[in-house]
Structure 1
Amino acid sequence: MPSVLVIGAGFGGIGVAIELRRAGYTDVTVVEKADDLGGVWRENTYPGAGCDIPSPYYSYSYAPNPGWPMRFSLRSDILAYLRRVADRFGIRPRYGVEVTAAEFERGRWRVHTASGEVLTADVLVPAVGQLSRPAMPDIPGASTFTGHSFHSARWDHDYDLTGRRVAVIGTGASAIQFVPCIQPSAARLTVFQRTAPYLVPKPDTRYRPWQRRLLPLERAFFWALCEVGVLGLKGNRVVTAAVERIALRHLRRQVPEPELRAKLIPDYRIGCKRVLFSNDYFPALRQPNVHLETAPITAITPAGVRTADGVEHEVDVIIYGTGFRATDFLAPIEVRGLGGRSLAEEWTDGARAYLGMTVPGFPNMFLVYGPNTNLGSGSIVFMLERQARYIRQAVERIAAEQSCLDVRPEVAERFDSELQGRLGGTTWTMCRSWYRDGTGRVTTNWPGSVSEYHRRTRSLDPMAFERVAR
């Protein structure tokens, strides 16, 4: 029976371990560098942290949760759900194990940890996610700031914001959640916006008992709604125009002041950047202690933030709501495959993987939430389940054939060419966003629907792989 080592104990890693355990594979080890499972839901503790995918859809299909308190659950409820599911299926990760490197030698993977321990396994499953490493902007003078600063993904709960002059840099998914939460306590809150996001109303609700009985139907409804949303990302103007009208109507209703509203009108095609859901972000910006600054930041000074108009905004604390290094897949883990080839070097011109999971020259390694498997519309948990199923089939074949599987280069190249060709017709290529790497290549997102990904990963094609002797 093959041994499997999973790196990461988020939804992806836990899902793979459950899939393999359910299939009878017991030699499965999950290692996690932190002291708890949860991935992004463990790391992001900022006020208001929650999911913008409805909870019935943002959960494993085989482990529905009839106890969701609300449609768009907060971080604590999502984390509690994942802990319960892991416990139910007997998944016990090894915590405090930070992987630094992995190499393929003589048919097995040797995995090195920060403590000096070396682990070995037949199959390696990196499940470190795309949203695990905070991105800090390269702003001149950042190190000279004499006040307090932190990234939203490393929230400093010991620092009291009450009565403080607060600067928030960034207006992405995290900022639009925590800004309304910190606004009432701040003496002055300055939000620095580079580009305005598209915001639509958040159809949230606290579930009543009768509504919880309908959660399976609600899951199906939001699955279908997200499938329609994909059409807009693929260029369907009817869908995008409808969503754009909803967003702009939401803005007009919540921001009657012409000057402020003008600053909040996006100047790019909807869908190019992530569409956000919020009912309280715009009202927070209208409060008398809040200022929305749209002049570009030129420097951070010892006393605050300087903008292109020459104004120095003096603040006590800077909160970076600047997202994650989503295109730095697997970093900083050094991975080497056949002949010592470096995965980082293979990905010099952009990360790529067949079905987002396998890379030629790296046998028996299967990525979870790898390149081009993120979504603009839909639940990533749905995608992770399909990847877990595919990996289970790979492990079954590895066990049956007593050999290693290495995806054929021509198969991987054909898949990548198809993918990039399709991505070229999506809205994601029409502006700068975290979906694209430094070369402009879209390395994060899947160009189709989740149902298409379901079909393409339903059965492992043995002809797509070469056999490598163990």
Structure 2
Amino acid sequence: MRSSAMRTRTMPSAVIIGTGFGGLGMAMELLRHGFDDLVILERASAVGGVWRENTYPGAGCDIPSPLYSYSYAPKSDWPRRFSGQRDIYAYLRDVARDNGLLERIRFGSEVTEARFDDESGTWTVRTADGFQATTDVLISAVGQLSRPALPAIAGIGSFAGPAFHSAEWNHGIDLTGKRVAVVGTGASAIQFVPAIQPQVAALTLFQRSAAWVLPKPDVEYRPWHHRMFAAVPPVRLAERFAVWALCEFLSLGIADVPAIRGLVTTIAVNHLRKQVTDPHLRAKLTPDYPAGCKRGLFSNDYYPALTQPNVRVETTEIAEVVPTGVKTADGVLHEVDVIIYGTGFKGTEFLWPMKIHGANGRELEEEWQGGARAYHGISVPGFPNMFLVYGPNTNLGVGSIVYMIESQARYIRQALRELSRHPAHTLDVRRVVAEEYDRKLQARLDRTPWGLCSSWYRNAAGRITNNWPGAVVSYRLRTRTLRPERYRLTAAATTIAGQ
């Protein structure tokens, strides 16, 4: 990083925050195109993002690995079509090592504040460990699923036994023979409940709403698969394309072809009927909201685990947590030894708790009153030369977020190319452009089923801040080319003064 007095080079400098798929992908995109004045800040001691943090039993991805990986960093020897956490984490470590990123990462540096200087047109970034950097461009790649969310339940801190969130799994607790309460039935619970069910004495699953669960078309890749994928890349690419095409087809059901949701509903209902024969339990596990309102989940072992004699599905609302267990609204005390919260993440609190100050000292928190928003999920008016990876309204109901990240990284790289043509300048998306984009986006979101149920996609005001409402190819086309006329190009005041 360099000071404003040294800004004579044409290639802008950049600070990237985060080393998950977004941060590593962004860094590789810049380095491949000659932008080598960059540093990556990571709060932890290793790369990996959510795949470093989420180590709960059964953790894995619900998108097949041929698509849930970088297009320019293929892997021919995935153990399974749907990879587990360890394999995805190892992939990210390998990518960082093989692409020379490790020496550019400053580990143990949690960003606390970033402030734009109107005079120099640069950003100053500060971290909790006292590090400070001045840079031309600030790129946040902290994602949407980095901060675990605990439910607002009375007495949640009073439980006398071990209690933890699935994203902060306590591997020091032996669950063998324990009575375990699981609160939540989201994507994490779908995976860890079957993994721990055989070892616990009793498992009570507290379900607020049932999930739409689809069969998981998983396969184990044999050595001959690996040899074929390596020797004949078109075969691997064909599988990647097939997965992508299927996801695109299903995504059309979100806003454009509602009939597709009916097909998904039929598949999910048949899956439930096949795996759960008890009509009482099946009724509990039947969602009361339309398919697509929440992200569909994939599992072949979740329903079978719930049919086991040591498992009970409790649908009565939780009233409070007490020292000995969980008390429901009907007055029943469910005594347990361990509580595990599978209650997701604070997905609508983008960039929090970092303090971001843009032009004229304006706080990002103030800009985002009522809900986060950004042009293409990337640029925020009033925050020049700041770009977001996996920002507002770029999450997917169906599909691979890595595909979206690659689209965003290419777009941001074009922004840096524009800045390289105009040294000591800043790019700030025009407010009228951003507001018109957001208006049309929200109108399209109103046509989706996401507003029909409560989910992490919506903030407290009911605004859908997380998801992209449609096919990923439409997003890629929109971000294919940066349109400079939609941004304000401004020379730094110090540059003007020195002319």
TM-score range, shorter chain: over 0.9
Shift in Å, 1:89: 1.3
Match of 2:198, SS state, is: coil
Distance 1:117 1:287 in 2: 53
- What is the aligned partner in structure 2 of residue 59 from structure 1? 69
1:380 corresponds to which residue?
401
Following TM superposition, by how much is the alpha carbon of 1:135 offset from its aligned partner in structure 2, in angstroms?
Answer: 0.4
Asked whether the 8 Å contact 1:353–1:416 carries over to 2, the reply is: yes
**Map of 1:46-85 to 2, 5 A cutoff?**
46-85=56-95
Provide the rounded CA distance (Å) in 2 between the counterparts of 1:33 and 1:116. Answer: 12
Matches within 5 A, 1:138-153: 138-153=152-167
Deviations 1:140-165 (A, max 9, x none): 01111111100000000001111111
Which residue number in structure 2 is paired with residue 165 of structure 1? 179
Contact kept? 2:108, 2:129, Cα under 8 Å? no
Per the alignment, in what secondary structure is the counterpart of residue 269 of structure 2? helix
Match of 2:482 in 1: 460
Taking structure 1 as the reference length, what is the TM-score of the superposition?
Answer: 0.99
Amino acid paired to 1:16: M
Q: Which runs of 5+ in 2 are unaligned?
A: 1-10, 230-234, 493-499
Give yes or no for contact 2:295–2:398 (8 Å, CA) kept in 1. Answer: no
What's the secondary structure of 2:427's corresponding residue?
A: strand
Question: CA deviation digits over 1:290-319, x for unaligned, max 9?
Answer: 110000001001110011111000011100
| Cα separation, 2, equivalents of 1:327 and 1:365 | 19
AA in 2 matched with 1:363: P
Which of 42, 51, 56 is the matching residue for 1:41? Answer: 51
Shift of 1:236: 2.2
Structure 2 match to 1:182: 196
Deviation at 1:210, TM superposition (A): 4.5
Q: Does 1:24 align with 2:24?
A: no
Match of 2:215 among 201, 210, 221: 201
Figure out how many residues of one structure are paired with residues of the other and give that number: 470
CA distance in 2, matches of 1:23, 1:331: 31
Alpha-carbon distance in structure 2 between the residues aligned to 1:421 and 1:274: 20
**Residue 386 of structure 2 aligns to a residue in which SS?**
coil
Alpha-carbon deviation of 1:235?
5.1
Give the distance between the partners of 2:464 and 2:158, measured in 1 at CA.
Answer: 34
Letter in 2 for 1:428: W
Counterpart CA distance in 2 for 1:118 and 1:68 is 39
Question: 1:246 aligned to 264, 267, 272, which one?
Answer: 267
Aligned with 1:322 (options 324, 343, 349)? 343
**Per-residue deviation, 1:60:** 0.6
- For 1:120 and 1:127, how far apart are their aligned partners in 2? 18
Secondary structure of the 1:387 match is helix
Matches within 5 A, 1:384-395: 384-395=405-416
Query: How much does 1:26 deviate?
Result: 1.0
**Distance (Å, rounded) in 2 between the aligned partners of 1:39 and 1:385:** 17
In structure 1, stretches of 5+ residues that fail to align are none
Quote the residue 1:100 is aligned against.
Answer: 112
Contact 1:2 1:398 in 2 (8 A): yes
Quote the Cα distance in structure 2 between the aligned partners of 1:159 and 1:89: 37
Secondary structure (helix, strand or coil) at the match of 2:39 reads: strand
- Cα shift at 1:118: 1.5
How far residue 399 of structure 1 moved from its aligned partner, in angstroms, is: 1.2
- Structure 1 stretches (4+) deviating beyond 3 angstroms? 209-212
Q: Could you tell me which amino acid in structure 1 is paired with residue 241 of structure 2?
A: A
Map of 1:3 onto structure 2: 13
5 Å-filtered alignment, 1:70-469, equals 70-92=80-102, 93-105=105-117, 106-212=120-226, 213=229, 214-234=235-255, 236-402=257-423, 403-469=425-491
